[in-house]
A and B are shown apart, each in its own frame.
Chain A
Amino acid sequence: MLTILPEKCVGCGMCVMVCPEEALAVWGLVEVDRKKCTDCLTCVEYCPVEALEDRP
């Protein structure tokens, strides 16, 4: 499951740009809308600071 590591997230929004479901939003820190997120993990690939992870 997509997990956000707030201590690593800088809030750049690159994950927001690539999310195919528009499930992510950023305002200083990224937030996920669990109702929309399909755990496709595209955002994990694009995070430049490894602040997004796939965790059980």
Chain B
Amino acid sequence: MKTHKCDVAIIGSGLGGAAAAAYLSRAGYQVLVIDRLPFVGGRCANLDYQGFRLPTGVVWVSDGFHGQLCRDVGASFEIRVPKPEYFYRIRGKDYEMPAKGGLRAMIAIAAEEAEANRAMAALKRGLSWQEPPMSISVKAWLQQFSADPSVLGIFEMLSTLSSGLRTFELPAGEFFRYLMAMSAVKNYGFVPGGCGNITEALAGVGKANGAEIWLRAPARRITQKNGLVTGVLVDTAGGQVEVQARAVLSNAGPQATVDLVGKENLEKGYLGDLEQKLHASPQIIIYVASDRPLLECPGLTFLTESRRVLFMAPLTNLCPELAPKGQHLTEVAAFLGNSLPPYNLRQELDLAMADIRDNLPAFDKHARVLLAGCYHGGWPVMRCWPGNYLPQKTPIENLYNVGDGVAPPGWWGSPSAVQSARIVIEDVKRRISPGEASR
């Protein structure tokens, strides 16, 4: 069998894997990234379909977070920030969300004054005094202060937006941590050509610093000896390769990591924790093609009183390159009734379509569904429910997870994958010095 030596092997080129590769290779580590798919980026990539450039996942990013990541490692980054970033639709009317105090503005419009004041005071207390406990859901927390369905709709939208979880599922404590983490992040928008350009640029930084990236290269086994990981067995077109590494970072998700290293090699407490906490969160994305723009707001239009749809985004208003000439692309995101399976996906899709017809009056005449994707299970919005806090470290000393399955408190969606990678690379740096593989 062929062998390949490196300092750090990274299984998966998703945002977390690609970010880790960029950081570590810049710090002098010999890095190998393998991905079983034919492209870099996992759920942060783009594929061409009928002349449209469709995302595999990520669409909405920020200069404050993703731009900063790219500046940190010297990767190129471009973003188009819509003005305004958000509209929200309450009782059929669209309102522009102010740049500051957006949530408060929405609540003030949704509820009558006394109730709005009560909800806002509670919100303020949660943000500036102490967040509510983890044992109460966002919905149960909110219902102490407001029974207004429009107010609940606002929280439903905010809750499902990046976590995929409904307000009755999401712990209120984690929701407040998220609001606080996000309040520091500014300038959201769309990446020209798609967010795949971010993972491509990170991979490019890795390569420029000596990292190797193998695509169509599934990991088959994480090898270990005497309680330490020794590397990865990888299938490639040229046969199986024994990759020898001083640390392995798995971006494949915590369950896939367990399967790759073998349950029998992991401690029971850890496996029990995963069994209890590792639930993926779902979402539906419907890509709508049309012969004219379908929405006025160039950013996200939030729905607060829908059956399933939480936002609609006319991607081509700012990024016309995502569609063939004369055509337009709108992304519609919807949550599911419940975040735990079993799901009735056809019924969920029908409910989302009913929302589309209600909220995009031009749909039947001027638009069609290009693709309706359901994301759950092994290809979800988040691999682990926010608030369930799984550790980046595994019981094996040099085996880590990176990605949204091991999101740190308060971080959801693609930033959570990057934050987990930042935690892991700091630990790698403390334990392993760069370049040892070549000595």
Contacts and interface: CB of A to CB of B under 8 A. Distances in A.
Interface size on A, as a range, is 10 to 19
Contacts of B48: 17
Interface in A3-53: 8, 10-14, 16-18, 26-29, 45-46, 48-49
A46 B373 CA distance: 15
A10 B371 contact: no
Contact of A49 (B38, B348, B371, B379): B379
Interface string B32-58: 000001100010000111000010100
B374 A28 contact: yes
B221 interface: no
B307 interface: no
B383 interface: no
B377 interface: yes
B372 interface: yes
Chain A contact residues, majority secondary structure: loop
Contact of A16 (B42, B49, B380): B49
Contacts of B42: 48
Interface size on B, as a range, is 20 to 34
A48 B349 CA distance: 21
Chain B contact residues, majority secondary structure: mixed
B376 A26 contact: no
A18 B378 contact: no
Nearest to B46: A17
A10 B43 CA distance: 14
Given A48-B37, A48-B42, A28 B378 contact: no
B371 A17 contact: yes
Contacts of A14: 47, 56, 373
27 contacts: A10-B375, A10-B377, A10-B379, A10-B380, A11-B345, A11-B374, A12-B373, A13-B371, A14-B56, A14-B373, A16-B371, A17-B48, A17-B54, A18-B47, A26-B371, A26-B374, A27-B346, A27-B349, A27-B372, A28-B345, A28-B348, A28-B349, A29-B345, A45-B37, A48-B379, A49-B377, A49-B379
Interface of B: 37-38, 42, 47-49, 54, 56, 216, 345-346, 348-349, 371-380
Given A27-B346, A45-B37, A48-B42, 9 more contacts: A10-B376, A17-B47, A18-B49, A26-B372, A27-B372, A46-B37, A48-B37, A49-B378, A49-B379
